[in-house]
Each structure stands twice: as structure tokens, then as C-alpha cells.
Amino acid sequence: MTLATSAAAMGGKLYLDHLSIIAPNLAEGVAHLRNCLDLDIPFGQRHDYMATHNHLLQLGGSVYLEIIAIDPAAAPPPWPRWFGLDDQAGIRAAWDAGQRLRGWVARSTNIAATLADHTAIFGRPLALPPAAPLFDFAQGHDGGLPLDGAAPCLIDRRGKPRNMATIPDLGARLAWFTLEHPDPAMVTDLYRCLDLDCAPTVTGAATLRYRAGINTPGGLKSLT
């Protein structure tokens, strides 16, 4: 089995689940979204098992946007936080450099098979919440973003779709999604290998940077 066919044959297609704004704190994340989209999105939920919390916004279909940050009121978890949030210096540096839409999450229907050839990139599945698991999330040893964010984080919702009724719908819809990267050929090959549906369009640039076009009630706007 070749690298290019392994994901499709073993794990099936991966689907865009959600985009992630990884913020030093929720207040800055909400302010950034307001500046970009002219939308105020309400609080979403707390993840006590990861000591994080978020704000959420529907982007059409089963796709949504998440602003996520450390929850200062929560006790630190016994494992690394997801999305590289334990590296607060790195989060701040990326934020101040304008890299705020830092990553995305792809949905798998068989995460063990998806990870079979790619453990070095994505880590191993973690069943969450631990007391009564609803999904599996791939996590490396340090909780960092796969390939510094060039690869998606992986989630398996165990056959149950995300309840979109719990996410605010303010009329925002994802129009386009791009990734600028110093090695676009490598990233494009990985996306092809993983059989990603609705992966970002990859172009060459000196610095990794995501951009998304969002149709809003006020017109098409850009999110970075």
C-alpha cells in the first residue's frame, strides 16, 4: 500500500469540521473576530478536561468556527492541552505576528485507521471527555499543532454528528479557505494522501498563514 493511497483505503475520506482561532485569551479572540467580520459571537462552552473554553459560530452546513483559549478558572489537565495552548509564549508570538486563524480540524470516521501511517505527525487518539467519551481527538506528546499547523488536527465523533443547533448562526458562510506555506508541494501531497475533502488551497509563501473568506450579512470579509 502506497503513501498516496493508504488513507483512502484504510481510513476513508476526511472532512472539514471546523476552523480554529487560537487566542491568548477569549477577549482578544472575540475582538479580532469583530474587527474582521463585524460579528459578535457568544460564548460556547468550557472543556474542563482540557482547561480551555471557546466561542462558536456556524459557517454553513456542518462547518463552524471556534475561538479557543486557556480557561484561567479551570485546573490544569493531566495531559497537554490541545492546539498547542500550553505554549503561551508561542501563542502570543503568533498572535502578535497576525497569525490568528492558526489551524483547522478534520473529521475522520475511523481515526485509528487514519493515524496508522501518520502517528509521527498526529500522535495518538485521546478519548474525550474521559469520564464519558463522546469523541476521539488525535494528540501528540506535547499537544502541539500537527506540522506547526500545516496539517489539520483530527477528530472522530464516533458516528454522531456535531449538534449544530447549539452553535449560533449569524448568517456567516465560508466562501474560501487558503494556506500559505514555505513548502506547498509537501503540504499538498500530505492533503492528497489523507484524502481531505474541502482542504485549504495551498500556495507558496515565506511564512505559514491561513486566510478564510467569510460571507457575512455585511458582505464578503477576510479572516486571518
- Dump pLDDT digits (tens) for 194-208: 999 989 999 999 999
**By CB neighbour count within 10 A (0-12 exposed, 13-18 middle, 19+ buried), where does 64 fall?**
buried
Given this model, what pLDDT does residue 12 score? Answer: 74
Q: Using CA atoms, how far apart are residues 212 and 189, in angstroms rounded to an integer?
A: 21
User: Is 20's pLDDT higher than 50?
Assistant: yes
Query: What are the domain boundaries of the chain?
Result: 3-171
Question: The C-alpha cell of 173 is what?
Answer: 458562510
212/202 Cα distance (integer angstroms):
12
pLDDT value at position 70? 98
* pLDDT above 80 (res 5): no
Residue 167 three-state SS: coil
Q: Point out the least confidently predicted range of 10-19, 93-102, 154-163, 179-188.
A: 10-19
CATH 3.10.180.10 for domain 3-171, yes or no, is yes
pLDDT one-digit tens code per residue, 53-101 = 999 999 999 999 999 999 999 999 999 999 999 999 999 999 999 999 9
* Range 95-98, long-range pairs (CB < 8 A, 24+ positions): 95/23, 95/24, 95/28, 97/207, 98/209, 98/224
Instruction: Decide if 98 contacts 224 (C-beta within 8 A).
Output: yes
pTM: 0.92
Measured between alpha carbons, how far is 27 from 14 in angstroms, rounded to an integer? Answer: 32
Give CA separation, 129 vs 24, 85, 99, 187, in Å: 23, 18, 29, 31
pLDDT at 4 over 90: no
Model confidence band, residue 175 (pLDDT cutoffs 50, 70, 90): very high
pLDDT, average across residues 182-198: 94
Average pLDDT value for the chain: 93
Q: How confident is the model at residue 11 (pLDDT cuts 50, 70, 90)?
A: low
- pLDDT at position 57, please? 98
Helix (H) or strand (E) holding 34: helix 26-37
